[in-house]
Amino acid sequence: MNNNKIGVFDSGIGGITILNELKKALPNENFIYYADSKNNPYGNKTLDELFEIVCNIVEKLLRMNVKLIVIACNTATTKCIKMLREKYKNTIFVGTEPAIKVACDKDFKNTIVMATPGTINAERTHELVINNKKENQKIYLLPCDGLADTIEFGTEKQIKEKVSSLLSKYKNYNIDAIVLGCTHYPYAKKYISEEFPSATLIDGNKGVTKQVVKLLTENNLLNSTNTKGKIEMIYNK
């Protein structure tokens, strides 16, 4: 069977922000998007629970003959991607990591990294700080317990209030950048900017897209037909 689809998954609507970028860069590709709302939030799961959840999704996508899997979720990436690469050796994975490197390379001085508790506690996130932070830079790792699920299931008012209470303690820290280290958080951009109007908001979506294009090209997997690709949505509610 022809493996001509790209699988993308997240714990709900978050990864759609990545899917949109992918679609723009790769208009002829076919995508399957798996929205695992039923298991949201991933950010509070133990490693064993989360690994079992993501293995089930990976196996579903592989049965649908995907040629590459995008983990459109920082939590699943920072906690599970190494184990997934070991378990599914023939599968090409692209993960999503908090864009800490981007913030450090751009020389921001006081950066908040907003992410789920799972991502904040992941060894990989601490590696990203150690590997990229310069001496004159400060990185504040902020576990945003409950924000991804409020975005997935809550009202605009609840999202605004949650953002405001999470960010309030940094009001006097001269924050110049905020890393959106969860793919759900771009949906809360306007409320985050209201708290810190002069801070630059950074997400990792462009980096993910670049990596997908690179790996498809290197592995000769780009869809060579000239027809517009399709998106198949699967909701696990």
In the region spanning residues 141 to 180, those forming contacts with ligand DGL, defined by CB under 6 A, are 148
* Residue 127 burial (CB count, 10 A): 13
Q: List the x/- string, 24-63, binding to ligand DGL by CB under 6 A.
A: ----------------xxxx--------------------
Q: How far apart are CA 131 and CA 104, in angstroms?
A: 10
Q: What is the DSSP letter of 88?
A: S
Q: Which is nearer to ligand DGL, 119 or 209 (CB)?
A: 119
Please, which residues have CB within 8 angstroms of residue 82's CB and are 6 or more apart in sequence? none
**Residue 105 Cβ, how far from ligand DGL at the closest point, in Å?**
21
In the region spanning residues 84 to 123, those forming contacts with ligand DGL, defined by CB under 6 A, are 116, 119
**Residue 9 Cβ, how far from ligand DGL at the closest point, in Å?**
10
Active site residue 182: yes
Q: Does residue 204 belong to the site contacting ligand DGL (CB under 6 A)?
A: no
Single out the residue of 161, 202, 145 nearest to residue 178, CA to CA. Answer: 202
Q: Does residue 14 belong to the site contacting ligand DGL (CB under 6 A)?
A: yes
Q: Does residue 183 belong to the site contacting ligand DGL (CB under 6 A)?
A: yes
Contact 25, 233 (CB under 8 A): no
Contact 94, 7 (CB under 8 A): no
**Beta pairing partners, 117:** none
Q: Report the interface residues with ligand DGL, using CB under 6 A.
A: 10-11, 14, 40-43, 73-75, 116, 119, 148, 182-184
